Structure 1
């Protein structure tokens, strides 16, 4: 009987767990984002030439966090940005670069201020307070020529 109660509790909590519908940085775009982009997210980003150097895919997770994936024509996510009432699951969002995020958070004293760290391999800018979190992470080596990460949002 006790096992049954535990199973019922776990099943009732499953819908409350956020499901990751976005890709990891450096990987292919997320399935949900590719399947149902928003009207803004389905259009390629503007560029100075006739061909856009990247496209933007946008999704909203179960917690109301908007995640934008910046995708190269080779179908690789070179940057991600987020905004919402909570931070997204950073381990899922950053994928193999999560260790860089952890290291960036441990370097120096940040207190409650913004996190702006990185190197030639990985950059992150993250800020937030209760109910309002936002940030961006990108891979400098993959950013298309002529594109500034600060202009992506």
Structure 2
């Protein structure tokens, strides 16, 4: 097997999650939900859950009816939650677990905007640490360390009525 073929096989294994790395997640931000990849389990989680109660004190009927949450658990243990409006558009994504999800897949068409802002931020402030990108149409917060990553991304203008950024967790 040539070196080039081995690299291609390794990249394919990473993409498919064969090596325990989180496989590409459900849907791209701003897009429509898609089925979970092979090896992942997915369930719908009611927005009126302990997560929402802890964040806001009590869930309103408006926020409960204005979106759905799908939680996918990958073989690596990483959990990705996608928040989908009644119109079927993903307006928020949250993740947590031992492996960092593929942000290029999660952010979809918003990834180049994120990547540019991330590179500018890292150039201005070299080093490691939590990442907070707040652009007019996109907010991404990500942090953690080897074995414990977490973050959220959302589209501020797409948040349904009665839903706040703190509901995306």
Same fold, judged at TM 0.5 (above): yes
**How many equivalent pairs are there?**
145
Corresponding residue for residue 74 of structure 2:
61
2:118 aligned counterpart, secondary structure: helix
**TM-score normalised by L of structure 1:** 0.80
Higher RCO structure (Cα 8 Å, ≥6 apart): 2
Q: CA deviation at 1:117?
A: 1.3
- Quick one: distance in 2 between partners of 1:90 and 1:151? 20
- Quick one: distance in 2 between partners of 1:136 and 1:21? 13
- Quick one: distance in 2 between partners of 1:130 and 1:19? 17
Residues 70 and 77 of structure 1 are in contact (CA less than 8 Å); yes or no, is this contact kept in structure 2? Answer: yes
Residues 81 and 134 of structure 1 are in contact (CA less than 8 Å); yes or no, is this contact kept in structure 2? Answer: yes
- Quick one: distance in 2 between partners of 1:110 and 1:100? 19
Please list every run of at least 4 consecutive aligned residues from structure 1 whose deviation after the TM superposition is greater than 6 angstroms. none
Corresponding residue for residue 24 of structure 1:
28
Q: CA deviation at 1:18?
A: 4.8
Runs of at least 5 residues in structure 1 that lack an aligned partner in the other structure:
none
1:111 aligned counterpart, secondary structure: coil
**TM-score normalised by L of structure 2:** 0.73
Q: Residues 145, 63 of structure 1: CA spacing in aligned structure 2 closer, same or farther, 3 A cutoff? A: same
- Quick one: distance in 2 between partners of 1:117 and 1:91? 15
| Greater Cα shift, 69-78 or 109-118 | 109-118
1:101-132: CA deviation from partner (whole Å, max 9, x where unpaired): 21221233162221111222111111111111
RMSD after superposition: 2.8
